């Protein structure tokens, strides 16, 4: 059984915890972010979180990329998981023109994200900001593969759930890729009311529909 490693849903923390664990682990973290529900032939588990929070978290992880790269070089931890690719020029343009997630969502809503200047389709930012439906499909597609799903965890409860199995998630913000790692930087998740409404009702409407469905299933663990 594998854990679908949807970016910013605890996969890196789990991988590091499993590496250090002296007790049997309940599943294996997928080795790649591109492994999805509809391209596996085994049972799986995964975690979910509010799509807006996940979007903001992904934005700030990539925004702090250069600092994370330097820390990665200075720490001899082979199990930390994944390197940090250099920012592409379009990514740099995104962070220059839209310095917070709120600015970026405004840009998307108002059509200010330029297909050439801000084309981050082949970058780490694209993967971090991809919708949940990239891994699970929309609700109709998800239901076709739902029999593979053994459990879905709420990210905020993942630490407790793992502790019940004698597995401790790392508290070091470097190992968990937490925004607490850079306390000198105001990594705000604040989004204006109109941007939040547009995000929920338009940009990530399918994600919210899918999560609402999952949270009402017997395999969901809050």
Rounded distance, CA 220 to CA 182, Å?
A: 32
Rounded distance, CA 56 to CA 53, Å?
A: 5
Identify which has the larger pLDDT, 67 or 207. Answer: 207
* Tokens standing for residue 185: 């930087």
Rounded distance, CA 156 to CA 10, Å?
A: 9
How many contiguous H segments (helices) and E segments (strands) does the chain have? 12, 5
Q: Model confidence at 79, in pLDDT bands (50, 70, 90)?
A: very low
Q: What predicted TM-score, i.e. pTM, was given to this entire model?
A: 0.90
Three-state SS at 184: coil
Q: For the chain, give every domain's residue range.
A: 2-221
pLDDT at 178: 63
**120-129, 182-191, 210-219: which has the highest mean pLDDT?**
210-219
Rounded distance, CA 204 to CA 131, Å?
A: 7
> What's the whole-number mean pLDDT along residues 192-217?
98
């Amino acid at each position: 059984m594998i854990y679908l490693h949807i970016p910013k849903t605890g996969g890196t923390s789990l991988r590091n915890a499993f590496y250090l664990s002296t007790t049997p682990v309940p599943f294996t973290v997928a080795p790649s972010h591109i492994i999805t529900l509809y391209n596996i032939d085994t049972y799986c588990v995964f975690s979910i979180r509010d799509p807006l929070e996940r979007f903001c978290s992904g934005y700030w992880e990539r925004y702090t990329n250069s600092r994370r790269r330097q820390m990665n070089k200075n720490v001899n931890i082979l199990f930390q998981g994944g390197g940090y690719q250099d920012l592409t020029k379009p990514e740099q343009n995104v962070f220059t023109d839209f310095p917070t997630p709120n600015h970026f969502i405004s840009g998307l809503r108002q059509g200010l994200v330029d297909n050439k200047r801000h084309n981050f389709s082949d970058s780490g930012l694209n993967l971090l900001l991809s919708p949940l439906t990239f891994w699970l499909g929309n609700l109709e597609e998800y239901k076709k593969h739902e029999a593979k799903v053994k459990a879905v965890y709420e990210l905020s409860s993942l630490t407790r759930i793992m502790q019940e199995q004698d597995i401790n998630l790392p508290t070091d913000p470097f190992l968990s890729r937490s925004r607490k790692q850079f306390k000198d930087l105001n990594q705000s998740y604040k989004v204006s009311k109109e941007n939040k409404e547009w995000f929920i009702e338009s940009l990530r409407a399918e994600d919210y529909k899918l999560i609402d469905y999952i949270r009402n299933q017997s395999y969901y663990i809050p």
